[in-house]
C-alpha cells in the first residue's frame, strides 16, 4: 500500500515521509511543478496527502476524481474554520487537519486510512459513515478469534459479506467457508444438512451423507436466518456448539468438529427469545460477539460511494463505457428509502448500467417509483404519530417536523462532482470563504450540494427555541397549526422573494429540480411574475 505526498508545504511533507518510510510504507513525494495527475496515475496510491492549496481548482478536480479512483485523501488546511473543514470533507476529503499539525498526528491519520483501505479491499465492505467504520473495526477485532458471532440486520444489508470478511481475515482463511440458509431448508431435511446422516437412517437415505459441520471442519460455518430454525433442531445445535462434536442422523458415533460458527438473522433475536420462539440458552451461546448492520436508509451518506462502486463494477462487467452519474440522478437515489437495502441498490445500478441510453446515468434512467417515492420515507418516525388527525401540527410537534426535515435534507445533498457544474462554488471557495445565497445568508455543508441553514426560518411556536434563530424579513414564518403543504408553499415563496422571482435560482436554493418547481408553482397557484 502506498502514499503520495505533495510538496506544496515542504516541512510537514518531509517529516511525514520520513515517518512512513520508517514504518515500511511505500511513499512518493511530488513537487507542485510536476504533473500531479500523471504521478497519481503512475503511483496508484491508496492515500494522497495534499499539504496545501486545498482550494486550488486542480486540487478540487483531483479530489473529485478520487471519488471514482478509490484513493483516500487527506488535506492540510491553513485555516481552522470548522465550516470550511466540513465543506472540504463533503467534496471528497477523507480527513482535514489544521496546520500546524504534528508529524505524529498526521502519521496516525494516514495509518488509519491505510488500515481502512486494506480492510475494505479484503472484505468488500464499502462506506464512509460512522456505522460502517464501526463494523470494519469490529471485523478486524473479531476475525482473529474463534468465538461465535451473531450478525443482525435487515435483509440485503450484507450479512453474508461480513461473515465472509470475518473468515477471510481469520487464521482459518485457507479453510472451508460453508454457508447454509437455515430458513430455506424444510424441517425434515435441516438436521441431515447440518449434521449428516447414515445410510438407511430414513426413507430415501440410500447412502451416507456428510453434514455441513463436518464439511466446514477447520473452517467457518455461516448459518443464515438462524431465527427460522425449528425448536427441535435448536436443542441439537446447542449441544453441537457446546460439545464441539456431531452425531449423524441415524448414527451413534460422536464426530469431533473444529468449526467457527457465524450466525445471522434479519430480525432481533432477543425479541424472539422474549416471545418464546427461540431458546435463550442457544441465543446466549450464539451471541458471544455481535455485529449490527444498519439499514441503508440510516447511512445515506454511503449511498454515493456504493453507487460509484457498482457503476464501475457493472460497466466493466458488461463492457459499457460510463462517465458517471448526474447530480440529479444521484440525489434521487440518496432520497429513496431502499427497503431492499444494498441488494436492491446493487440490482438497480446493474439494470441502469445495462439499459441507460447515454454514457452518463441520468434522472430519466431511474424508475419512476424510485424518483417519486423517495420523500415518503424521510421522517424518522411514522407521520401518523406526529400529525393530528386533521393533518395539522402544533407546538413542539411542528418544531420536530422542521428539525427532522432539515437534518434529513442536510444528509441527502448530492456531490457536485463536475467542476464546470460547480464553478461558482469553487470560485467562492478559492476566495477563501464559504459560499452564500443572495442576501449573504450562509450555506451549510452537505454531502456535496448546498443548502440554506435553518436560520432562514422564523419560529412562532410558543416559547420553544426556534431551530437556528429568527429569520430576516424575507425568511419563512412557521406557526402552530400549519400543514406541511403550507410550510412547503411558504418556503417556495421565500425563495422566490430572495431571487426576485427567478425560478431557476429559487429551485437551486431549495435543491429541487426546475420541473418540480414549476409543478409546485402551478399547484399553489403562484403568479407568473411573482417577486419581480
Per-residue pLDDT of 35-65, as tens digits, reads 888 988 888 899 999 999 888 888 888 888 8
Residues 319 and 399 in one domain: no
Last residue of a domain, one of 244, 269, 293: 293
Residues 287 and 339 in one domain: no
CB 526 within 8 A of CB 493: yes
Residues 474 and 437 in one domain: yes
129: its cell numbers: 459513515
Total count of domains within the chain: 4
Q: How far apart are CA 1 and CA 427, in angstroms?
A: 35
Look at residue 465 and tell me if it is in a domain: yes
Per-residue model confidence (pLDDT) at position 470: 38
Q: How far apart are CA 437 and CA 431, in angstroms?
A: 16
Mean pLDDT over all residues of the chain?
Answer: 78
Instruction: Please give the residue that has the higher pLDDT: either 475 or 281.
Output: 281
Look at residue 89 and tell me if it is in a domain: yes
Beta strands in 383-449 (DSSP E): 436-437, 441-445
Q: How far apart are CA 254 and CA 259, in angstroms?
A: 15
Instruction: Please give the residue that has the higher pLDDT: either 256 or 516.
Output: 256
Look at residue 95 and tell me if it is in a domain: yes
Look at residue 349 and tell me if it is in a domain: yes
CB 487 within 8 A of CB 302: no
Last residue of a domain, one of 123, 140, 164: 123
- What is the CA angle 190-193-194, rounded to 5? 85
Residues 160 and 283 in one domain: yes
Q: How far apart are CA 218 and CA 397, in angstroms?
A: 56
Residues 418 and 277 in one domain: no
Residues 6+ away with beta carbon under 8 Å from 285: 148, 238, 241, 242
Per-residue model confidence (pLDDT) at position 504: 80
Last residue of a domain, one of 352, 377, 402: 377
498: its cell numbers: 430572495
pLDDT per position as a tens digit, 176-212: 999 999 988 887 788 888 998 888 877 777 788 899 9
Question: String of b and e for 415-444 (b: at least 16 CB within 10 Å)?
Answer: bbbeeeebeebbebbeeeebbebeeebebb
CB 13 within 8 A of CB 51: yes
Question: String of b and e for 181-215 (b: at least 16 CB within 10 Å)?
Answer: ebeebeeeebbbbbbbbbeebeeeeeeebebbbbe
Look at residue 65 and tell me if it is in a domain: yes
Beta strands in 157-277 (DSSP E): 177-181, 196-197, 209-210, 220-224, 245-247, 254-256, 260-265
- Helix, strand, or coil (residue 152): strand
User: ω into residue 100 within 30 of 0, thus cis?
Assistant: yes
CB 410 within 8 A of CB 446: yes
Beta strands in 248-368 (DSSP E): 254-256, 260-265, 289-293, 324-325, 360-361
Q: How far apart are CA 470 and CA 127, in angstroms?
A: 37
Residues 167 and 286 in one domain: yes
Give me Rg for the CA atoms of the chain: 28
Report CA-CA distances (Å) from 365 to 66, 317, 331, 356, 362: 25, 19, 13, 6, 5
Per-residue model confidence (pLDDT) at position 294: 92
CATH number at residue 17: 3.40.50.2300
Look at residue 384 and tell me if it is in a domain: no
Look at residue 385 and tell me if it is in a domain: no
pLDDT per position as a tens digit, 319-358: 888 777 888 899 999 999 999 999 999 999 999 888 887 7
Look at residue 387 and tell me if it is in a domain: no
Global pTM value: 0.62
Residues 148 and 246 in one domain: yes
What average pLDDT score do residues 118-136 get? 84
Residues 155 and 289 in one domain: yes
Q: Which of 154, 156, 162, 167 is nearest to 265 (CA)?
A: 154
Q: Residue for cell digits 430576516?
A: 472
Q: Which of 16, 13, 90 is nearest to 52 (CA)?
A: 13
pLDDT per position as a tens digit, 290-309: 999 999 999 998 998 899 88
Per-residue model confidence (pLDDT) at position 436: 40
Residues 190 and 53 in one domain: no
Q: Is the pLDDT of residue 489 over 90?
A: no
Q: Residue for cell digits 436443542?
A: 235
What average pLDDT score do residues 151-157 get? 93
CATH number at residue 285: 3.40.50.300
Q: Is the pLDDT of residue 425 over 60?
A: no
Strand pairing report for 220-224 and 47-50: unpaired
Residues 216 and 316 in one domain: no
Structural domain for 437, as ranges: 392-523
Residues 137 and 197 in one domain: yes
Residues 169 and 313 in one domain: no
CB 13 within 8 A of CB 49: yes
Alpha helices (runs of H) in 70-123, residue ranges in sequence order: 82-90, 103-123
Strand pairing report for 47-50 and 2-6: parallel
Amino acid at each position: 500500500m502506498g502514499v503520495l505526498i505533495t510538496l506544496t508545504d515542504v516541512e510537514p511533507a518531509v517529516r511525514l515521509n520520513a515517518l512512513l518510510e520508517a514504518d515500511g510504507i511505500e511513499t512518493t513525494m511530488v513537487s507542485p511543478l510536476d504533473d500531479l495527475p500523471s504521478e497519481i496515475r503512475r503511483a496508484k496510491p491508496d492515500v494522497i496527502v495534499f499539504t496545501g492549496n486545498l482550494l486550488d481548482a486542480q486540487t478540487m478536480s483531483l479530489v473529485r476524481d478520487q471519488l471514482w479512483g478509490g484513493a483516500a485523501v487527506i488535506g492540510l488546511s491553513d485555516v481552522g474554520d470548522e465550516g470550511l473543514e466540513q465543506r472540504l470533507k463533503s467534496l471528497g476529503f477523507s480527513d482535514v487537519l489544521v496546520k500546524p499539525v504534528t508529524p505524529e498526528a498526521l502519521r496516525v491519520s494516514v495509518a488509519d486510512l491505510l488500515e481502512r483501505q486494506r480492510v475494505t479491499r479484503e472484505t468488500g465492505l464499502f462506506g464512509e459513515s460512522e456505522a460502517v467504520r464501526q463494523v470494519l473495526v469490529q471485523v478486524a477485532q473479531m476475525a482473529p478469534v474463534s468465538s461465535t458471532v451473531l450478525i443482525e440486520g435487515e435483509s440485503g444489508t450484507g450479512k453474508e459479506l461480513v461473515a465472509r470478511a470475518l473468515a477471510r481475515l481469520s487464521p482459518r482463511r485457507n479453510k472451508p467457508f460453508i454457508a447454509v440458509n437455515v430458513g430455506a431448508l424444510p424441517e425434515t431435511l435441516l438436521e441431515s444438512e447440518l449434521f449428516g446422516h447414515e445410510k438407511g437412517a430414513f426413507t430415501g437415505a440410500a447412502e451416507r451423507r456428510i453434514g455441513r459441520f463436518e464439511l466446514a471442519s477447520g473452517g467457518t460455518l455461516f448459518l443464515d436466518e438462524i431465527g427460522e430454525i425449528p425448536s427441535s433442531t435448536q436443542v441439537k445445535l446447542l449441544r453441537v456448539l457446546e460439545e464441539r462434536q456431531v452425531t449423524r442422523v441415524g448414527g451413534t458415533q460422536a464426530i469431533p468438529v473444529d468449526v467457527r460458527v457465524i450466525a445471522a438473522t434479519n430480525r432481533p433475536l432477543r425479541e424472539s427469545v422474549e416471545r418464546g420462539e427461540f431458546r435463550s440458552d442457544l441465543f446466549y451461546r450464539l451471541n458471544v460477539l455481535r455485529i449490527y448492520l444498519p439499514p441503508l436508509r440510516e447511512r445515506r451518506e454511503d449511498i454515493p460511494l456504493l453507487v460509484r462502486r457498482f457503476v464501475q463494477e457493472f460497466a466493466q462487467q458488461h463492457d459499457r463505457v460510463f462517465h458517471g452519474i448526474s447530480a440529479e440522478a444521484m440525489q434521487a437515489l440518496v432520497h429513496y428509502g431502499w427497503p431492499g437495502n444494498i441488494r436492491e441498490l446493487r440490482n438497480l445500478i446493474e439494470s441502469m448500467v445495462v439499459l441507460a441510453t447515454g454514457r452518463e446515468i441520468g434522472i430519466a434512467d431511474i424508475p419512476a417509483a424510485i424518483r417519486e417515492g423517495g420523500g415518503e420515507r424521510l421522517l424518522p418516525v411514522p407521520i401518523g404519530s406526529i400529525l393530528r388527525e386533521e393533518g395539522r401540527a402544533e407546538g413542539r410537534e411542528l418544531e420536530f417536523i422542521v428539525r427532522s426535515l432539515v437534518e434529513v435534507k442536510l444528509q441527502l445533498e448530492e456531490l457536485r462532482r463536475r467542476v464546470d457544474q460547480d464553478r461558482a462554488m469553487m470560485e467562492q471557495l478559492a476566495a477563501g470563504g464559504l459560499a452564500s445565497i443572495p442576501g449573504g445568508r450562509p450555506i451549510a455543508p452537505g454531502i456535496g450540494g448546498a443548502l440554506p441553514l435553518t436560520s432562514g426560518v422564523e419560529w412562532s411556536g410558543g416559547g420553544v427555541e426556534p431551530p437556528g434563530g429568527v429569520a430576516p424579513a424575507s425568511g419563512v414564518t412557521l406557526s402552530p397549526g400549519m400543514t406541511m403543504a403550507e410550510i412547503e408553499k411558504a418556503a417556495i415563496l421565500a425563495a422566490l422573494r430572495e431571487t426576485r422571482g427567478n425560478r431557476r435560482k429559487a429551485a437551486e436554493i431549495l435543491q429541487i429540480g426546475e420541473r418540480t418547481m414549476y409543478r409546485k408553482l402551478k399547484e399553489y397557484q403562484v403568479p407568473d411574475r411573482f417577486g419581480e
